[in-house]
Chain A
């Protein structure tokens, strides 16, 4: 979609003003950054204690670019102004810090020690490859991601329930949605620390009632992992459920009605009609859920701190402790960068495989 507009001619003087403005803004920004760098290196004595001047110079630079666009390109410049704020913001807040992170990742830098930042080449990478706790966390991530399929199955069942002919559908939908509202940290206490408390927690009480002698939820690796997953699933299932419910409601009614007439059982109707038709929505929901799952950290940090023996650690919670306990910025950043590379490859491959599958099936 695009609106064609008659481009009115722009006076050459106005054009050169625009160009001048952009060049001036860029120069201001570069020179400020340079002066700050020299100040930080101790060569220039400007008496600056922080890099805020560079930040302000960047803001001036951003405004100059916007104004310059309008002056140089008229209508097209006004249109570019729509996307420029978000674009510059993302570059400044995501692209630049990621590149900056790369420069940290190849250094030996402990914020707690006095030696400061030291370039150490690929040492961090080699240390990473030999770090059993990091790979343990990676394996845990694979397990957590596989659990997404279980979450999806439960969410699909709930969506079917809400799509059935029931009274007070809106009431049930609101009730089912509530866990999604809650902060993972609050859930950590509500469920992880109090309901699962081994003496007085209601879940422990229930477990004893049905015959477990000494229920404990965070001492056995697999039990602990599953409880972390249950808490995360409890918060996230409503999200998947809402997506699937919207998909179900968008399905054409005639097709299932026709199958009913043909005498297909509900089970057959689901597997032969509803499920295949829901595949595109399902894949969207699953991929989105995996993306969020890969960020899993809060619950683990607050409930188990990765224990017992790293059994519940996610990559994010492991790196969090690497910084919190050891202030190891250089190595921690390398771990994070490696993780980013892995998940970008994983998501790209996943999307490619899925879109190829989809094309073959339709």
Chain B
């Protein structure tokens, strides 16, 4: 192509003059300055929260920022949660409550993500491979039906579910929350999984059928192992959304099934200036997800970009 032939001489002319090189260096400096600036914007609130959990009242009031340089780290915040080294062995009601909320969050998030990935992957495979007709709806309409649930704001379902769950004795239960969270992440899971299945050649299915496997055998033995990266991506994305969900949890849980965000929010309202314990609580609440974000970033990006970018 003409572009390739022209590229080489243009490049040589480009590096020829000193002025251009200066401009290039300035551009590089600008880019790195912008990167550092936004990294600061992204990380400072996290840094502030972690360090504040180790400050005493005086450090907060004097606006101390850097541990060991302008203030001496202290376990005050973590002690009030019962999670500091010297209190970790003692009995602590606050810690018991925190661990209870933490476990509730884990059960709810993992339960809902697992259920959503299970039924979502099945539906996505079906929509990717077979032709359905249900009343007037064909495959495309069915896909749209599932995806359109994404538009439904939680507030529309919240009050009906409050009444329904009261009648079904599901208020303040983890099962009730799991069902609702499954509903909220299901469209996203179906979206990601359908994108994943569409990239697996249909010839594989046909070969499996020739070998005598039925649709379910084909799905579980041949296709599912190949779709594993997509499933992990869908699962992790669901996990993040469910872990952070607040609206339903605030309305539908009371004492038993409370999740971590509800605990954090209730502490925010009740406490005036007890910064160190709030900071410790916030740190503990976000730490698992920061870890997930750093370690599993590849899958998160894969999940977020599924289906949105096609060549």
Known: A183-B244, A340-B153. A239 touches B304 (CB 8 A): yes
Contact with B along A162-204 (1 / 0, CB 8 A): 0010100010111111111111111111110111000110100
Q: Is the CB of A80 within 8 A of B132?
A: yes
Tell me whether A2 and B297 are in contact (CB under 8 A).
Answer: no
Q: How far is the CB of B17 from chain A (nearest CB, A)?
A: 14
Taking the nearest CB of chain A, how far is it from the CB of B128, in angstroms? 6
Distance between Cα atoms of A170 and B152 in the complex (Å): 35
The verdict on A319 contacting chain B, using a C-beta distance below 8 Å, is yes
- Using CB atoms, name the residue of chain B closest to A238: B42
B100 CB–A CB distance under 8 Å: no
Return A318 CB to nearest CB of chain B, in Å. Answer: 9
Q: How far is the CB of B254 from chain A (nearest CB, A)?
A: 13
Contact partners of B151 in chain A: CB under 8 A: 291, 294, 343-344, 347
Given A85-B119, A89-B119, A166-B31, A186-B167 contact (CB < 8 Å): no
Query: Closest A-chain residue to B127, C-beta based?
Result: A83
Taking a contact as CB atoms under 8 Å apart, the answer to whether B1 and A254 are in contact is yes
Q: What string of 1s and 0s marks CB contacts (under 8 Å) between B20-58 and chain A?
A: 000000000001101100110111011011001000000
Within the complex, the shortest CB–CB distance from B211 to chain A, in Å, comes to 14
By secondary structure, the A interface counts as: helix
Interface stretch (choices A14-22, A23-31, A48-56, A354-362) = A48-56
Most central of A81, A166, A177, A199 by chain B CB within 10 Å: A177
Contacts of B246 in A (CB 8 A): 183-185, 297-298, 301-302
B206, A3: Cβ atoms closer than 8 Å: yes
Q: Which residue of B lies closest to A157 (CB)?
A: B34
Interface residues of B in 276-291 (CB under 8 A from A): 278-279, 282, 285-286, 289-290
**Bound complex: CA A81 to CA B279 (Å):** 49
Report yes or no: A181 in contact with B10, Cβ–Cβ below 8 A.
Answer: no
Min CB distance, B49 to chain A, in Å? 5
Q: A86-B146, A183-B243 are in contact. Are A100 and B160 (CB under 8 A)?
A: yes
Q: Point out the residue from A86, A166, A250, A260 that lies within 8 Å of B119, measured CB to CB.
A: A86
Tell me which residues from 81 to 137 in chain A have a Cβ below 8 Å from any Cβ of chain B: 81-83, 85-87, 89-90, 93-94, 97-98, 100-101, 104
Q: A105 vs B34: C-alpha distance in the bound complex, in angstroms?
A: 51
Across the interface, which residues of A come within 8 angstroms of B154, CB to CB?
Answer: 295, 297, 316
A301-325 vs B, Cβ < 8 Å mask (1 yes, 0 no): 1100000000000011001100110
A75 and B300 CA atoms in complex are apart in Å by 36
User: B285 is contacted by which of A49, A75, A86, A186 (Cβ under 8 Å)?
Assistant: A186
- A85-B118, A86-B119, A177-B293 known; 7 new pairs, CB 8 Å cut-off, are A75-B214, A97-B164, A174-B297, A180-B293, A250-B309, A261-B7, A261-B10
A-B pairs with lowest CB-CB distance, top 5: A82-B126, A86-B123, A183-B244, A101-B160, A181-B293
15 example contacts (A-B, Cβ-Cβ < 8 A) are as follows A2-B129, A50-B167, A50-B168, A82-B130, A82-B219, A89-B186, A101-B157, A161-B34, A166-B32, A178-B43, A178-B294, A183-B289, A194-B52, A243-B305, A254-B1
Residues of A within 8 A of B (CB): 1-3, 5, 49-52, 55, 75, 78-83, 85-87, 89-90, 93-94, 97-98, 100-101, 104, 157-158, 161, 164, 166, 170, 172-191, 193-195, 199-200, 202, 205, 234, 238-239, 242-243, 246-247, 250, 254, 257-258, 260-261, 281, 284-285, 288, 291, 294-295, 297-298, 301-302, 315-316, 319-320, 323-324, 329, 332-333, 336-337, 339-340, 343-344, 347
